[in-house]
Structure 1
Amino acid sequence: MVLSQRWGVFLFLAVTAAGCLLQRSSPPVLAPNGTVVAVAYVRDDVQRRGTVADVPEQVKQRVAEALAKRNLQVQVVPYEEYAADFAKVTDSQRRYAMLKALAPEAPLFLLVETRVSFFGQVTGRFSWEVYVRTTAGRAHSEMEPSTVTQDYGAALQFDQQRENDAQIEVARQISGQAAGLFDSFIASPMTVPVTDGGPGVVPGLRAPAGEGMEPGSATPTQPPPPTDGGTSWVPPAGDAIYFVMVDRFANGDSRNDGQVDPKDAQAFHGGDLQGVIDRLDGLQELGVRTVWLSPVFQMRTEKFYGYGAFHGYWVEDFGRVEPRFGDEALLTRLAEELRRRDMRLVLDVVLNHVGPETRLVREKPDWFHGLGPIDNWNDSRELVLKDVHGLPDLAVEKDAVYAHLLGHSRRWVDAVRPAGYRLDAVKHMPLKFWARYNDDLRAHAGRDFLLLGEMLDGDPVLLARTLEQGRFGTMFDFPLAFAMVDVFCRDRSPSHLGAVLFNDRLYPAPGSLVTLLDNHDLPRVMSECGGDVERVKRALAVQLTARGVPALTYGTEEGLTGKKEPENRGDMRFTPDHPLRAWITRLLAVRRGSGALQGGETLVLAAREDLFAYARVAPDEAVVIAVNSGRAPSDVALPEGLVGARVSELLTGTGLPGAARSLSVPPGQVTLLRLKPGAAGGFGALAKQAGSRWRGQGERRTVELAVSDSAVRLVGSGPELGGWKPERSLRSESGGFKLSLPVGAVFEYKLVRDSTPGKFDWEDGDNRLLFIPEGREPLRLSISPNFEGQK
């Protein structure tokens, strides 16, 4: 996206689209006939703290119907029996315990909690956000109850419609979330499959025919290829993506240059498709398998108010290749040359807008919204209807416009046979459009066709929701990108990486997310790190060993710099001995040869202010990635499943003496170690346990946080801590907070306090860190509020 802002804003997610996105698949499991589920419902008032209300009967009926499909018989506990107590207690675990006491004979329990907030008016409708938290469990079980948290958007027609109407609008999603909880844990030897083709849960989707489950709640890190036309995209083993900005890469044919000026950062510099072809052997040697090109379609070539058009995002004719770059035959040849090397081509597709003052604007003025540029970047309606930086915004809701975009998209699939599309400007288009487009294109190109969305935003909840409701194959992982820059270029605590990575449980398939450090819309990582090559090497070490598919931007291996556009889009250099080139080549080679790095489960070993260490565990190998920002070596204890393993340096293969019980992590660097099973056997059991924990399905531990000020609230990362939304912050009770949190989880949090109505004051200083290690006893911590800098 040209001139994008780094931090995105809330994008309204219309539930009207979500209802038509979900597909039928494998059936749910069945409990024995007539198994009773005791259910309690409550809506917490967002505006008036300590005030609760019942939920509409329509919601209760939907839940009853969804559970009946699983042979579960709902026993609703009367609201009057618990309303007063629930108003005093906001902790879900304590409410769940109250529910069990109210229905002691029931074998199963379900608690449904909602909060409803008005968002604004979008495209003539009134937008509400419905937060739903469902908690379910068995009467006699040592396991903690399972919890799912999700936000839904409701679009209402009339201003007088309120909270109950918003809940009714998303009743199907609420019922699906509740039913999905039971699908995830009720299966046992006594259960049998449904044989009537009823709805079920699809790996990679979050909802069975409108009955959703928590993202990532039951899907492996690398899901199997879908067999039902679902949206899951499974990356090729060892894949890495390389982005080429065609004009800035290599000039292979000077005859098509036109007017160029290499000294002008806003002018064309002569790069073309032939230049890319000429450099394919070098890219293959670097270790990448997929080449993603900036848009190559015919574009506006003149500057617009001083801004250059060289980047390709000002499309004029989606049906032709830009003559400065070559022609359709050359683009087809590039795709063939890549396939000959067992490599792949991804094209960049711009569907939101065209270039300024282009022919299509003159010939088809009714194809555009014509509402002028975005004035308020916090207004979701403006984001999707107005012009991004003055670029004419296509009215994609019109049939003729949609047919034009889909028709050309299909034609390029047939003509060039690319492996996929990178889809630009996701946040500036309605999710209803994306769902329709992605499904239609997938039906034409095949389920393995990559549909990679660019959602330039640091909010993992928004990213996960957009991925699902927009029916994308996968998305760029900007939350992790921002975290790596913060840690390695701005000296933030390395455990911030853990808090961001723990959001993996929100995604249906985190192993398919595309990771990045450099991006053509953001400052170069070399500039962010002040030109320090060693810092960049440490950041790359983490990116290229993390889960997901790594993406590199041209010139990262050459240390290109640039803090803003167009300086961050400088000309490529080809220096064979640059230290970053050798570093990336080595890391990608190691990644290709490691099953743990390609698909291992995540297991956190240590998370402190100056240290973050985690392992990626596969049955026959584990790789430890440790970041020590302190000034002294740090010892990291190994869990029982890794004790006695043979340890070696990952990049050199040099073995370390002895059978390991702990690892020593040197200061000021990223340590990469490979562990192989010793005489005791493989790591299969530990990998299974790690996967369960990382999805929030493993054992939980009680956490008690004592606080000196009973008026403060707590908010932080993850749905358990309110997802950084202060209106969902946890209220202090009896001098502190009592929480039930997943073992192995990493959270960040802060204390807040009420200011004026609807406003909150945040405490000073950095985020607080909370790591949940193994242990039977409650984890007890004391915290002192820090509001000293505030009057």
Structure 2
Amino acid sequence: MTRKTILALLLAAYFQVASAQNVRVFPEHWWAGMQTNQLHLILRSNDSLFGQGAVTTGYPGVAVRKVTPFSNGRYLAVEVSLDNSVQPGNVQLVHARNGKKTIVSWPVKARKGIAGKDFARGISGADLIYLLMPDRFANGDPSNDRVAGMWDQSLDRKDYYARHGGDFAGVIRHLDYLQELGATALWMTPVMENDMPDRTEHGYAITDHYRIDARYGGNEGYRRLRDSLQARGMKLVQDAVYNHTGTYHVIVNDLPEKDWLNQWPAYTGTSAREQALFDPYASANDKKRMTDGWFVKEMPDWNQRNPYVANFITQNAIWYVEEFGVDAIRLDTYMYNDLAFANACNAALLREYPSISLFGEVMVQHSPNQAFFTENHIATAFKSNLPAVLDFTALFNGIFPALAQEPGWYTGIVHLYNAMAHDFLYRQPEKNVILLDNHDLPRFFTRMDGNLARQKMAYTWLLTSRGIPQMYYGSEVLMAGDTKPDGLVRLDFPGGWPGDAKNAFTGEGLTADEKSMQDLVKKLGAYRKKSPALQTGKFMQYTPQDGLYIYFRYTEHQTVMCAMNTTKAARKIDIGYLSERTGGFTAARNVVNGREYSLREPIVVPGQEMWVLELK
């Protein structure tokens, strides 16, 4: 072989590899031994004629079943199957066109963890979720505050729409604090790459489904956070967005087919009227507007009826659990998804990870509307398989009016009683996630007009009621803010940045009220960690009397009585009327201040207080 021939072969090999480097595969790798072993790989190249080629492989255990081109010549859909014999390694996908072959490497990896043990463990009433926005919690690594090549280069803490520099390193640094509050699970707003020109602080306009945002620490930083959580026995909740994406997403900017998005002649937003999905009198136009309308202009709506789109999203959902050790998934804007797709995606995740928890964001005002989107006892044509939802109706129609209104036959505390009574609609109401506020809602302290007593009652309810409690960062130190504009409910956590005048992590600079609130959360959080009654116990409530609402959490071995007095006057607990749950006990201990009371004597709860009493 001549030197000229060798050089020609080397050049040919170089150009093949170089060409392969311009090919992106979604999902970018997979694992041997998965239940999900029939995949739609989406291959994208910068070559406009790429779609005219064929794809084959000789890798043992991997078969190419079908290759489908799109009208956009830069894409191919490659259906592959992985049988039980497949071993980890680099699958060589051979793309051939006009006699030219290009090798695309697609790794098949070995599974590292054990689902249900090392990840995908799920969450339950034994957990307390702490929700934070990573950009607004703490800056642990200033070197990634700005990342070259990304659109949004803002870094101005005075501008609540700019980036502020919070990251995974900052979260890791303060996991001790989360545990002091009693938190066992961490939920962050989406951490996938959001390479948009502005408003990237919230994370909901995803531009790359297989990259964690570099400004938080990237894929490796996310793994370090996961490892730090697992080392403490804590869990990781992913915020997943299936309904829409960002306008700067690579696929949105270069669609394989126009029908990958729900297209309209002009921008058309969703009606946000969920009633159209179950209303027996609803029009087809209303249903379409609800599901196919875009959330906002910057967030194009996926057409989940397209099987390639549905598979792209579902495979990505599974990939994230396996890749990053996710234990639970919060499903953003759940009611705007195509419901048939949502059921199929849920089923795929639960088939792969039977112990994982899924709970959807269904921000509605009424209990039947909310229950429709989860497993329920309602006789409707569509039956949801979603195990749980964020319980907004317990907030909107329960705890908020219970504390904001004067008690009456139809007002005040009776609303919370009614909200809990509506649990008959759900198959598993104990899986619902209860909350007081989040990044889309006014801070609860603001809704309570800065009333500390009401804030304390609300948090006492949150940490003792049925369901899985979710706290929003900073509310435990009375952070305030309304949603007009929404940046006011997404301010920086005090102490997360060097030089902050107030530090909630150490207590430096906190007012007496802020410290008192934080101390209450810590005491209740610590108690519920060791209380089987509050974690997984049954729930029994009594009809409110004169503004006094009493409920019990109990197991065979522990009974906890919770008494909320929403009036300004003191109220006496009628122990005799509660004998169904108090019988056999002679004393009660206040779990917050340690005081003990005899059940043979009247127990009086002061006005605007809620007591948590363990019976003895």
Task: Identify the residue that residue 653 of structure 1 maps to in structure 2.
Answer: 594
Take 1:618 and 1:522, find their aligned partners in 2: how far apart are those partners? Answer: 34
Deviation string 1:278-307 (CA, Å, 9 cap, x unpaired) is 11121122211100111111113312xxxx
Does 1:462 pair with 2:369?
A: yes
Structure 2 gaps of 5+ residues are 1-119, 147-152, 274-285, 376-382, 495-502, 508-514
Match of 1:516 among 414, 432, 435: 435
AA partner of residue 338 (structure 2): P
> Shift of residue 375 of structure 1?
6.2
Does 1:484 pair with 2:369?
A: no
> Shift of residue 456 of structure 1?
1.0
Question: 1:369, 1:395 within 8 Å by CA — same for their partners in 2?
Answer: yes
Task: Identify the residue that residue 547 of structure 2 maps to in structure 1.
Answer: 610
Number of matched residues? 439
> Shift of residue 488 of structure 1?
2.2
Question: 1:233, 1:474 within 8 Å by CA — same for their partners in 2?
Answer: no
Structure 1 residues 431, 366: CA separation in 2 closer, same or farther (over 3 Å shift)?
closer
Take 1:368 and 1:237, find their aligned partners in 2: how far apart are those partners? Answer: 38
Take 1:326 and 1:550, find their aligned partners in 2: how far apart are those partners? Answer: 28
How is 1:124-139 mapped onto 2 (pairs within 5 angstroms)? none
Question: 1:605, 1:637 within 8 Å by CA — same for their partners in 2?
Answer: no
| Structure 1 segments of 4+ aligned residues over 4 angstroms from their partners | none
Structure 1 residues 418, 567: CA separation in 2 closer, same or farther (over 3 Å shift)?
same
TM-score by length of 1: 0.53
How is 1:289-308 mapped onto 2 (pairs within 5 angstroms)? 289-303=184-198, 308=199
Take 2:249 and 2:564, find their aligned partners in 1: how far apart are those partners? Answer: 50
Does 1:475 pair with 2:389?
A: yes
> Shift of residue 234 of structure 1?
6.9
AA partner of residue 269 (structure 2): I
Question: SS where residue 374 of structure 2 aligns?
Answer: helix
Take 2:456 and 2:560, find their aligned partners in 1: how far apart are those partners? Answer: 18
Task: Identify the residue that residue 568 of structure 1 maps to in structure 2.
Answer: 489
Structure 1 residues 602, 663: CA separation in 2 closer, same or farther (over 3 Å shift)?
farther
Take 1:496 and 1:658, find their aligned partners in 2: how far apart are those partners? Answer: 28
Task: Identify the residue that residue 136 of structure 2 maps to in structure 1.
Answer: 248
Structure 1 residues 237, 394: CA separation in 2 closer, same or farther (over 3 Å shift)?
closer
Question: SS where residue 222 of structure 2 aligns?
Answer: helix
Take 1:234 and 1:353, find their aligned partners in 2: how far apart are those partners? Answer: 25
AA partner of residue 594 (structure 2): G
AA partner of residue 453 (structure 1): G
Task: Identify the residue that residue 311 of structure 1 maps to in structure 2.
Answer: 202
> Shift of residue 644 of structure 1?
5.2
Task: Identify the residue that residue 554 of structure 1 maps to in structure 2.
Answer: 473
Does 1:533 pair with 2:452?
A: yes
Question: 1:237, 1:592 within 8 Å by CA — same for their partners in 2?
Answer: no
Take 2:373 and 2:548, find their aligned partners in 1: how far apart are those partners? Answer: 32
> Shift of residue 510 of structure 1?
1.7
Structure 1 residues 334, 418: CA separation in 2 closer, same or farther (over 3 Å shift)?
same
Take 1:489 and 1:530, find their aligned partners in 2: how far apart are those partners? Answer: 9
> Shift of residue 239 of structure 1?
0.8
TM-score by length of 2: 0.68
AA partner of residue 656 (structure 1): Y
Take 1:236 and 1:669, find their aligned partners in 2: how far apart are those partners? Answer: 27
Match of 2:329 among 384, 403, 421: 421
How is 1:569-718 mapped onto 2 (pairs within 5 angstroms)? 569-573=490-494, 574-575=503-504, 576-577=506-507, 578-638=515-575, 639-641=578-580, 642-643=582-583, 645=585, 646-657=587-598, 659=600, 663-676=603-616
How is 1:358-397 mapped onto 2 (pairs within 5 angstroms)? 358-364=249-255, 365-371=258-264, 372-374=267-269, 376-378=271-273, 379-390=286-297, 391-397=299-305
AA partner of residue 478 (structure 1): F
Question: 1:495, 1:611 within 8 Å by CA — same for their partners in 2?
Answer: no
> Shift of residue 625 of structure 1?
1.6
Structure 1 residues 236, 627: CA separation in 2 closer, same or farther (over 3 Å shift)?
closer
- Identical residues among aligned pairs (%): 30
> Shift of residue 415 of structure 1?
1.4
> Shift of residue 357 of structure 1?
4.4
> Shift of residue 599 of structure 1?
2.8
Match of 2:359 among 441, 452, 456: 452
Moved more, 498-507 or 597-606: 597-606
Question: 2:551, 2:562 within 8 Å by CA — same for their partners in 1?
Answer: yes
Structure 1 gaps of 5+ residues are 1-231, 677-791
AA partner of residue 559 (structure 1): L
Question: 2:588, 2:615 within 8 Å by CA — same for their partners in 1?
Answer: yes
> Shift of residue 236 of structure 1?
4.4
AA partner of residue 389 (structure 2): M
Task: Identify the residue that residue 263 of structure 1 maps to in structure 2.
Answer: 158
Deviation string 1:177-210 (CA, Å, 9 cap, x unpaired) is xxxxxxxxxxxxxxxxxxxxxxxxxxxxxxxxxx
Deviation string 1:42-69 (CA, Å, 9 cap, x unpaired) is xxxxxxxxxxxxxxxxxxxxxxxxxxxx
Structure 1 residues 582, 618: CA separation in 2 closer, same or farther (over 3 Å shift)?
same
When the two chains are superposed, the root-mean-square deviation of aligned CA atoms in Å is 2.0
Question: 2:405, 2:412 within 8 Å by CA — same for their partners in 1?
Answer: no
Task: Identify the residue that residue 350 of structure 2 maps to in structure 1.
Answer: 442
Take 2:358 and 2:239, find their aligned partners in 1: how far apart are those partners? Answer: 10
Task: Identify the residue that residue 314 of structure 2 maps to in structure 1.
Answer: 406
Take 1:251 and 1:233, find their aligned partners in 2: how far apart are those partners? Answer: 29
